[in-house]
Structure 1
Amino acid sequence: MPPATSPHGYALKPSEARALQNAEVVFWVGEALTPDLGRKIGSIAGDSRVVTLGEAPGTGHLPSREAAVFGAQEAPHGHHDHEDHDDHGHAEEEHAHEEDAHAGHAHGPDDPHLWLSPDNAAAWLDHIATVLAETDPENAETYAANAEAARATLESTVAQARETLAPHHEDRYIVFHDAYQYLEASFELQVVGAIQVSAATPPSPGRLAELREAAAEAGVTCIFAEPQFDPRLVATVSQGTELPVAELDPLGATLTTGAGFYPELISELAGRIADCAAD
């Protein structure tokens, strides 16, 4: 998928479908994030080994949030269920929930933006290296060495991001859609609410009004837009205030893809949050 597109409802081009058909291994986060792709993998990549990273050992999950303002009705992000979802019965139940959510592209019971947890990224490094080594045993040592090097880079990146964000633990933010919960939990950020529940669910006038009121009451520091979505919705919430509006992109659309992409994404997000809070 091109980095600048939303994964929630992306339609494959013929060339992308051919690439999927020819793949020996398909890695994806899971059906809750890309429901349309889930249906295509089974039909197009039927002979491929499909690896759902959201079900990988060591993956932590947080429940989806529906409210415009994150408050007492939802567990604070320091106390969410963060257990591994490798139990077979739970996986079947989760799949059923995801199927029910497809029509509206809702998130389902679990927040699918799993990659914004550096802990999940570290767990996935090991899992990806193991799968690649099993698929291509002649290069197993290379995959293991690359995973070890990537883990060291990730640890350094996370330490720097913590230092960048440490002065801003008490600042409060509003985000465009609720994609950053894992980042909040990892770096002790205070997000008051989200303009949209998900990327595919437009906000009601009542939701926008509730956010404007919450922004005033909570002393919100900054509102974050996203490059893939209509900036007028952000303007509706910030109207009549002097709140700075900055762009935050959980997909890293402008970043160079490759081995350094994920560390750069975490650094970019941390820097943009800190810069907006400091304005």
Structure 2
Amino acid sequence: MKSSSALLFASTILLSSPVAAAGPNVVASIKPVHSLVASIMQGVGEPSLIVEGAASPHTYNMKPSNAAALQAAKVVFWVGPGLEAFLDKPLDALSGGAKVVELSEAPGLEKLKFREGGAFEAHDHDDEGHGEEGHKHAEGEAEHDDAAAPEAAAADDHDHAHEGHDHEGFDMHLWLDPQNARAMAAEIEKTLTEADPDNAGAYKANLEKLNQRLDALDKSLVATVAPVKDKPFVVFHDAYQYFEHRYQVRVAGSITVSPEVLPGADRLSQIHAKIKELGATCVFAEPQFEPKLINVVIEGTPAKSGTLDPEAATLDAGPDLYFQLMEGIGTSLKTCLASAS
């Protein structure tokens, strides 16, 4: 009798407890986008990820499993053809009735014009704001245009300068500013609510939590890079303009314009000379690409080497990845630049 009563009581509790409706099939292109989507979908479902592991969207080839995921999707999130060019035709051919959301078109994004050269001119931050104060200008305009005025690129690189970048001339690494992540997250929440109104409350609550985390991340990064923000450094490819712009760090140049194109001897010589000229203290590799090039350009200079991971190649996918990615960039910059002379 007790067993029957207990079973009846348990059944009553289960029936009266709120249960989230099953979420829609959602696909995200790259890890940073997937992380934001996963944050909004917590408690409802898990999005699928196309570019997994250490793969890069710049060099990715579609797999049959990716095609199957797109065919089954109700919603697909990507940055846009300027970054994930490999997805452009498959989305047209395979996504069927799915809602395809190009997050580079999300309202409220700040877009910076992409820089065509690898070695940027020296620039002065003395008359610019820092941190949150330095992030107050119109959409699509870069405040420090002097940094964005590149020297002529080596011919073999310049021909391919626009590969992996927005065809309208905007840098597509938009997520490397937490304020842009907020704008992308808002678009993700709006889209999921329209596609799945039964879980609208969960999506809204998750967006509020995510925005609180993004605010805390932004303040933390300001403090992390403050001691080293005036030390110039060189990166593997020009993927960090949004981080540079937000936190006023000094990117002196990049080894290659686009990671699909290996730099030639002229470019390496140019960057080597720029490291000496500007006194660049660190040169940063990326996990997906050839690290030996870093040793070539720092040979004979006091510069040290480090690693930055703008696309989260070394991180496990999930809601926390975006924060690990951004904190990792800040910590790597501080560690290498603080240790350099």
TM-score using structure 2 length: 0.72
Corresponding residue of 1:105:
163
Corresponding residue of 1:180:
240
**Helix, strand or coil for the counterpart of 1:7?**
coil
* Deviates most, 232-241 or 173-182: 232-241
Q: Give the direction of change, closer, same or farther, for the CA distance of 1:53–1:148 in structure 2 (3 Å limit).
A: same
The Cα shift of 1:126 comes to 1.1
Corresponding residue of 2:139:
83
Residues 11-90 of structure 1 mapped to structure 2, 5 A cutoff:
11-71=61-121, 82-83=138-139
Give the letter aligned to residue 70 of structure 2. Answer: L
1:32-62: CA deviation from partner (whole Å, max 9, x where unpaired): 0011111111101031100000001011111
Contact kept? 1:25, 1:48, Cα under 8 Å: yes
Which consecutive residues of structure 2, in runs of 5 or more, have no partner in the other structure? 1-50, 129-133, 142-158
The Cα shift of 1:21 comes to 1.0
**Distance in structure 1 (CA, Å) of the matches to 2:286 and 2:278:** 22
Corresponding residue of 1:228:
288
Corresponding residue of 1:163:
223
**Distance in structure 2 (CA, Å) of the matches to 1:265 and 1:245:** 19
**Distance in structure 2 (CA, Å) of the matches to 1:32 and 1:186:** 22
Corresponding residue of 1:88:
none
Q: Give the direction of change, closer, same or farther, for the CA distance of 1:80–1:179 in structure 2 (3 Å limit).
A: farther
The Cα shift of 1:221 comes to 1.2
**Distance in structure 1 (CA, Å) of the matches to 2:287 and 2:181:** 24
**Helix, strand or coil for the counterpart of 1:250?**
coil
Contact kept? 1:20, 1:45, Cα under 8 Å: yes
Which consecutive residues of structure 1, in runs of 5 or more, have no partner in the other structure? 86-100
After superposition, the CA RMSD in angstroms is 2.4
Q: Percent identity?
A: 41
The Cα shift of 1:66 comes to 1.5
Corresponding residue of 1:255:
315
Higher helix share: 1
1:145-201: CA deviation from partner (whole Å, max 9, x where unpaired): 001001101111111111010111211100000100001001111001000101112
Q: Give the direction of change, closer, same or farther, for the CA distance of 1:58–1:16 in structure 2 (3 Å limit).
A: same
The Cα shift of 1:81 comes to 7.7
**Helix, strand or coil for the counterpart of 1:183?**
helix
Give the letter aligned to residue 43 of structure 1. Answer: A
1:110-144: CA deviation from partner (whole Å, max 9, x where unpaired): 11111111111011111111110111001001000
The Cα shift of 1:9 comes to 2.9
Corresponding residue of 1:208:
268
Q: Compare CA radii of gyration and give the structure with the larger one.
A: 2
The Cα shift of 1:212 comes to 0.8
**Distance in structure 2 (CA, Å) of the matches to 1:278 and 1:32:** 34
Q: Give the direction of change, closer, same or farther, for the CA distance of 1:267–1:104 in structure 2 (3 Å limit).
A: closer
1:136 aligns with 2:192: no
Q: Give the direction of change, closer, same or farther, for the CA distance of 1:84–1:68 in structure 2 (3 Å limit).
A: closer
**Helix, strand or coil for the counterpart of 1:174?**
strand
**Distance in structure 2 (CA, Å) of the matches to 1:103 and 1:195:** 12
**Distance in structure 2 (CA, Å) of the matches to 1:79 and 1:72:** 20
Give the letter aligned to residue 249 of structure 2. Answer: L
**Distance in structure 2 (CA, Å) of the matches to 1:43 and 1:122:** 30
**Helix, strand or coil for the counterpart of 1:8?**
coil
**Helix, strand or coil for the counterpart of 1:39?**
helix
1:154 aligns with 2:210: no
**Distance in structure 2 (CA, Å) of the matches to 1:277 and 1:12:** 38
**Helix, strand or coil for the counterpart of 1:70?**
coil
The Cα shift of 1:105 comes to 2.7
**Distance in structure 1 (CA, Å) of the matches to 2:203 and 2:272:** 49
**Distance in structure 2 (CA, Å) of the matches to 1:102 and 1:201:** 7
Corresponding residue of 1:2:
52
Q: Give the direction of change, closer, same or farther, for the CA distance of 1:158–1:81 in structure 2 (3 Å limit).
A: closer
Give the letter aligned to residue 75 of structure 2. Answer: V
